[in-house]
Chains A and B, each alone.
Chain A
């Protein structure tokens, strides 16, 4: 716990009710959605840029590390403090300042949830395209700091592609404004996209200019199954190559199919090696043309049978299988670890197979779902944390899956970020000179290494 003197100074900035420093309250901020645990020295809840600046200055004065936090849904340990640092929770800093339907831009504070942005945009026929699984609670500040993705990533990209500018409090306490809504016509360097995905290590985001996208009324959803992973992979490749850009293109492997079928009794073919879920949106004619192309691709790649949702209820029925994956697999074992590797899209089937083989070698259950259109795979390894052999098997399998990903020219994280969880893999993914350059950039912002230290960079 922090010194009383420091707590007093923090209290003077944000008010007594917005500082937590008792054992019990601090315990509730000791974890995020990752397996990591670390108790903060204090939690403060600023609600304006000025307050954030003041908190940063107090932390600087006493040399205390800082960690910004949104809703704490981070899957890689980025939202927990180090060394009893000050946690800056931005959940009170949560106003939607403007929705501009002409430029299709929303200006929001960092504590606004992704869902709130969706709701504010909807009356204008717009949406915020990034849709991470945690979108009902995850904040925009966190989405930006982690460059969050989601199912719609295949068509729309991740948070980085939907960002025009930021206001950021730097470790020095300076407040800067990056980017612009209007086109850049001067000669300048835009730091917006370096902050996106920087996991709170370069500054604290206090305002964001978000790109909104047209919400398409026409949506078509379908599923099919395959007797081999290769057929599913080829089908995905053919769909992409023909210029079809689905809003979602999800693959579930045989382990997942069986677990979901046991859970929900949906009547899936239990020997199917892959289930493919596709959603298309757009102008009515565009959807029509693309659905025809997809059905051709199904036929050309030996799809077993397919279903097309005829109404919203049927659409939800098709989605329920995908949405129930975690619940269904959770019944198998008490613990799990989920990765978010990415491979070039042409190697999706190869990686799905290798990842399954690796898990089998170590006797570990590996349920795989993939955002197929991005080459983004979630191998989820299930184990019992009370059995040391299982823990060891999972660790070995994870290491090997990551190494295989890198060998195939892939990336170690597509959505969850490095945080604490993947630090050990970073040196495998980059050369020493690349790591040196990254460290220099971090030092430029934060020489004292007080902003979310120990995360992102080894």
Chain B
């Protein structure tokens, strides 16, 4: 340990190296036990740290806000936890190009604040805006408004990262169109830190929409929820999201519209008159449920009806919530029950979706036997000593 600390102290300030890991266990939990925590101040420092790690075969785990760390990394013992929180500069801001290059430790909140002075915004918005942009890119995050704005990768124009062997690599650029050789920035996006440590990102940004409005409607049963959803999908709307949650045996359907003021007013009026939607005052605080299901939109309502029927047949209370426009259903089952889970899994499988129960993947699409193999070959080729996130869950069955 002392030895590792001495080695790292050669490439970054001593105050940037911490060995009192317990202070950090609150964030990650006791299953994650790095030897050392380091807060490098530049890509150059990270490159040097990675070279030291390669020479000494020490695993390195990049850390952003830590909010989603466990989703990408299995528990481990030993190694270097490398925080990007000292990388938070705005590198190049070009409002005339609608682009901004930032260091990876900058948070969504900080970016939003910076851009708002020019009436611009970064469209991917998460429930917790303390997440870092590096983390968001590394997992290709998306928010409630995915239907309108899709996922992070749609806004990534360029990336700088430190390779698992300690080279600083720049890929992509700052232009909206770019087909100059292999698009490695798209490979790094969503690679969960296993193929490189992202240090800078060039993002596309947009003007803040003129108008945003949230409407809601109370419906008393699942069938009505489905009928109204169907009708809404047939309306021409500037729809950013359509979500629902359960409240006192009823369902609250919530709808976000975004766009030009005149259009939004017109659409809002129509929804108010035709369906009795009204302004939504309170946004519900989101809680995570035990089971998460993702379906295509054309199978979504079939999924909800099927799940509701199982709950009724088994006489087990099940609470539903969901983001309809993202195709996501979340359910909370009062009593865990093996037989019930099997029935749910069967429905999800028939509908071609993905099911996660208590953090475990139960059903997911078949990618072919060669898929994991090619990912592992890529990993071995860019990281022959398996230094970077050796326990990456992105490279597991």
Residues of A within 8 A of B (CB): 100, 102-103, 105, 146-147, 149, 153, 157-158, 160-161, 170, 172, 174-178, 180-191, 193-194, 196-198, 201-202, 214, 237, 240-243, 283, 285-286, 288-290, 342-347, 371, 374-376, 409-418, 422, 426, 429-431, 433-434, 436-438, 440-445, 456-457
Q: Is the CB of B374 within 8 A of A343?
A: no
- Residues of chain B lying within 8 A (CB to CB) of residue A442: 182
Q: Is the CB of B186 within 8 A of A160?
A: yes
Given contacts A100-B298, A456-B182, are A344 and B354 in contact (CB under 8 A)? no
Q: Is the CB of B192 within 8 A of A189?
A: yes
- Residues of chain B lying within 8 A (CB to CB) of residue A157: 154, 176
Nearest CB of A to B56, in Å: 21
Chain B residue with Cβ nearest A203: B374
Given contacts A170-B374, A241-B95, are A196 and B186 in contact (CB under 8 A)? yes
B19 within 8 A of A: no
Nearest CB of B to A329, in Å: 22
B378 within 8 A of A: yes
- Residues of chain B lying within 8 A (CB to CB) of residue A342: 173, 175-178
Given contacts A176-B368, A182-B354, A189-B190, are A444 and B178 in contact (CB under 8 A)? no
Q: Is the CB of A158 within 8 A of B177?
A: yes
Q: Is the CB of B374 within 8 A of A418?
A: no
15 CB < 8 A contacts A-B: A180-B365, A184-B294, A188-B394, A240-B96, A240-B98, A243-B206, A286-B263, A342-B175, A345-B98, A376-B175, A413-B178, A426-B181, A431-B170, A441-B381, A445-B374
B interface, size bucket: 35 or more
Give bound CA distance, A103 to B300, whole Å.
Answer: 10
B377 within 8 A of A: yes
Q: Is the CB of B98 within 8 A of A197?
A: no
Checking A102, A175, A184, A241 against B233 with a beta-carbon cut-off of 8 angstroms, the contacting residue is A102
Count chain A CB atoms within 10 A of each CB in B154, B176, B259, B395 and give the residue with the most: B176
- Residues of chain A lying within 8 A (CB to CB) of residue B186: 160, 193-194, 196
Chain A residue with Cβ nearest B377: A444
Give bound CA distance, A102 to B302, whole Å.
Answer: 13
Count chain B CB atoms within 10 A of each CB in A189, A191, A433 and give the residue with the most: A189
Q: Is the CB of B181 within 8 A of A438?
A: yes
Q: Is the CB of A426 within 8 A of B298?
A: no
Chain B residue with Cβ nearest A458: B181
Checking B196, B352, B356 against A185 with a beta-carbon cut-off of 8 angstroms, the contacting residue is B356
Given contacts A176-B367, A437-B163, are A182 and B176 in contact (CB under 8 A)? no
Given contacts A174-B373, A241-B95, A375-B97, are A411 and B381 in contact (CB under 8 A)? no
Q: Is the CB of B236 within 8 A of A411?
A: no
Give bound CA distance, A418 to B178, whole Å.
Answer: 11
- Residues of chain A lying within 8 A (CB to CB) of residue B191: 189
Residues 133 to 175 of chain B near chain A (Cβ within 8 Å): 139-140, 142, 146, 150-151, 153-154, 163, 167-171, 173-175
Q: Is the CB of A177 within 8 A of B377?
A: no
B15 within 8 A of A: no
Checking B262, B365, B375 against A289 with a beta-carbon cut-off of 8 angstroms, the contacting residue is B262
- Residues of chain B lying within 8 A (CB to CB) of residue A147: 179, 183
B366 within 8 A of A: yes
Residues 294 to 347 of chain B near chain A (Cβ within 8 Å): 294-298, 326-328
Checking A100, A345, A437 against B184 with a beta-carbon cut-off of 8 angstroms, the contacting residue is A437
Give bound CA distance, A374 to B352, whole Å.
Answer: 37
- Residues of chain B lying within 8 A (CB to CB) of residue A184: 140, 151, 294, 354
B66 within 8 A of A: no
Count chain B CB atoms within 10 A of each CB in A344, A345, A376 and give the residue with the most: A344
Residues 366 to 385 of chain B near chain A (Cβ within 8 Å): 366-371, 373-375, 377-378, 380-382
Give bound CA distance, A158 to B183, whole Å.
Answer: 13
Instruction: Give 13 new A-B contacts, CB below 8 A, not counting A174-B374, A214-B236.
Output: A102-B297, A146-B179, A170-B370, A182-B352, A186-B361, A193-B186, A243-B119, A286-B259, A343-B175, A414-B177, A426-B180, A441-B184, A441-B378
Give bound CA distance, A202 to B171, whole Å.
Answer: 18
Q: Is the CB of B187 within 8 A of A194?
A: yes
- Residues of chain A lying within 8 A (CB to CB) of residue B294: 182-185
Checking B96, B175, B181, B371 against A241 with a beta-carbon cut-off of 8 angstroms, the contacting residue is B96
B82 within 8 A of A: no
Count chain B CB atoms within 10 A of each CB in A158, A201, A241 and give the residue with the most: A241
Chain A residue with Cβ nearest B366: A177
Q: Is the CB of A185 within 8 A of B354?
A: yes
Q: Is the CB of B168 within 8 A of A433?
A: yes
Checking B167, B189, B260 against A285 with a beta-carbon cut-off of 8 angstroms, the contacting residue is B260
Q: Is the CB of A434 within 8 A of B176?
A: no
B231 within 8 A of A: no
The 4 closest A-B pairs by CB, nearest first: A174-B370, A346-B96, A243-B207, A414-B177
B364 within 8 A of A: yes
- Residues of chain A lying within 8 A (CB to CB) of residue B262: 285-286, 288-289
Checking A176, A181, A243 against B296 with a beta-carbon cut-off of 8 angstroms, the contacting residue is A181
Chain A residue with Cβ nearest B355: A185
Annotate B70-111 by CB proximity to A: 1 below 8 A, 0 otherwise. 011000000000000000000000111111000000000000
- Residues of chain A lying within 8 A (CB to CB) of residue B178: 342, 411, 413-414
Q: Is the CB of A433 within 8 A of B169?
A: yes
B393 within 8 A of A: yes
Nearest CB of A to B325, in Å: 10
Q: Is the CB of A102 within 8 A of B298?
A: yes
Give bound CA distance, A371 to B176, whole Å.
Answer: 11
Q: Is the CB of B175 within 8 A of A411?
A: yes
Given contacts A174-B369, A240-B98, are A411 and B173 in contact (CB under 8 A)? yes
- Residues of chain A lying within 8 A (CB to CB) of residue B326: 183
Q: Is the CB of A375 within 8 A of B96?
A: no
- Residues of chain B lying within 8 A (CB to CB) of residue A189: 187, 190-192, 194-195, 375, 394-395
- Residues of chain A lying within 8 A (CB to CB) of residue B233: 102
Give bound CA distance, A455 to B369, whole Å.
Answer: 28
- Residues of chain A lying within 8 A (CB to CB) of residue B48: none
Nearest CB of A to B369, in Å: 7
Q: Is the CB of B142 within 8 A of A183?
A: yes
Chain A residue with Cβ nearest B384: A440
- Residues of chain A lying within 8 A (CB to CB) of residue B98: 240, 345
Q: Is the CB of A187 within 8 A of B180?
A: no
Annotate B243-254 by CB proximity to A: 1 below 8 A, 0 otherwise. 000000000000
Q: Is the CB of A410 within 8 A of B181?
A: no
- Residues of chain B lying within 8 A (CB to CB) of residue A103: 296-298
